[in-house]
Structure 1
Amino acid sequence: MVRARPTALLVDLDGVLRRWDPEVPARIEAAHGLPAGALEKTAMDWSRLLPAITGQVSHAGWMAGVAQALEAPQAVAQWQEYRGEVDPDVLGFVREVRAAGLPVAIGTNATDHLDADLAALGLTGEVDAVVNSSVVGAHKPTREFFAAACEALHRIPSQVLLVDDSDRFVRGARVVGLSAYRWNGPADLPYLRAALGLA
């Protein structure tokens, strides 16, 4: 059976549309005498992360827990001042997809700080919808998250192409019927343009 061409794009934020410079936390950790990788490791501990990305705990509450665990509130505060950078190649692709008349949504596991992040990054208004796990109350790669994404895009799953840098999220999207592509970098863009009929 030939699969229909997707007519909507669901793009991941962190690792695809937004890039993070690993040198920033490394410098902060060194300055505060923290082990290398301590900030991210502590923040991404699943018992700490899950409540934040499903709306049970605020972003501020999440970071307060990280600061308490590390006994380093100043280091965490400095780390939080850095909000990453937009990948210009991916943003250009998003604009190209929308110019072709196809809707684009950001689909991300995020906290209640997401809108502020998007504004700081200049991304407000650059997509048709934002699917935030903390608003949905379910995280990628759950069925509920992808159902909310399809609803936001006004498409059925088979019409949506997910671009994500997580193998697990790509597999989860495929299980519920989405097309999904594992992002490796801007060299993937010609393939993605062709997949959406833009080439």
Structure 2
Amino acid sequence: MSGLAFDALLCDLDGVIRFFDLDEVTRLEQAAGIAVGTTMATAFAAERGRPLVLGRLTRTQWAASIAEALTAQVSARQAATLARAFAHAPSRADQQAVELIRRVRRTIPVVLVTNATVWLDDDLGRLGLTDLADHVVNSSRVRVAKPDLEIYQVAAERAGAPAHRCAFVDDSRTNVDAARQVGMSAVHYRRLSDLRELVAPVLGEVGPSLM
């Protein structure tokens, strides 16, 4: 055990490191006369979102399911176009967050803990993030998703540290609360400074105590 406040960093991916560009989806929704955000709500409705992050849907199956649901509001052609645009939306990595995590990894293990898809590895490759973490706990591969407590235990095991020696960061309050249930120090991510303050002690910088 080190003299640091924690021995491993467990980090969410989407909303912390990776961000999707939905401008084209928004444009298509406006052109179709439906509320902005309708496609996202449809894509992640319980009957679709849960199977997706548990590895039960391919991207083609997901897009087809989104399109089928959207036909209640728009034409079949518009629905297919919206579904395809959403399922293939481009993404970017926050390079400041990436650099912070790379620096942290020089000192302690880093594990990405993400509710993600079976094609995540391809996405990470396109973003140049294949080597960002020591391990990636992808819900669609381990078949358990946040906030199920089991995924945090899997992540701690991959990190090689007991749960109470792991720090966890996520943009979902629900996921943060779950991490605390297994004994982790956890921070709700809202802006880059939340991550920066969390890892400051690891980087030899002054930072506040963990929340």
State the TM-score, normalizing by the size of structure 1: 0.90
SS of the equivalent of 1:191 reads helix
Deviations 1:52-75 (A, max 9, x none): 111222233222111111131122
Superposition CA RMSD, Å: 1.9
SS of the equivalent of 2:167 reads strand
SS of the equivalent of 2:200 reads helix
**Match of residue 11 from structure 1:** 11
Give the paired residue count. 196
**Match of residue 27 from structure 1:** 27
Q: C-alpha displacement at 1:197, in angstroms?
A: 5.6
Conserved 8 A contact 2:54-2:143: yes
Gaps of 5+ in 1: none
The answer to whether the aligner puts 1:81 opposite 2:84 as a matched pair is no
Q: Structure 1 CA distance, aligned partners of 2:98 and 2:18?
A: 9
SS of the equivalent of 1:14 reads coil
SS of the equivalent of 2:169 reads strand
**Match of residue 43 from structure 1:** 43
Amino acid at match of 2:148: T
**Match of residue 179 from structure 2:** 173
Write the mapping of 1:56-71 to structure 2, written as runs, cut at 5 A.
56-71=56-71
Q: Larger radius of gyration, structure 1 or 2?
A: 2
Identity of aligned residues (%): 36
Q: Structure 1 CA distance, aligned partners of 2:51 and 2:19?
A: 24
Deviations 1:77-121 (A, max 9, x none): 12233232101111011111012x211111110110211111121
Q: C-alpha displacement at 1:24, in angstroms?
A: 3.6
Q: Structure 2 CA distance, aligned partners of 1:198 and 1:184?
A: 23
Change (3 A) 1:195 1:22: farther
**Match of residue 121 from structure 1:** 127
Q: C-alpha displacement at 1:159, in angstroms?
A: 1.5
Change (3 A) 1:64 1:7: same
Change (3 A) 1:155 1:60: farther
Conserved 8 A contact 1:107-1:130: yes
**Match of residue 144 from structure 1:** 150
Larger RCO (alpha carbons 8 Å, 6+ apart):
1
Conserved 8 A contact 1:32-1:75: no
The answer to whether the aligner puts 1:93 opposite 2:116 as a matched pair is no
Change (3 A) 1:67 1:106: same
Gaps of 5+ in 2: 72-78, 206-211
Runs ≥4 residues deviating over 4 A: none
Amino acid at match of 1:90: A
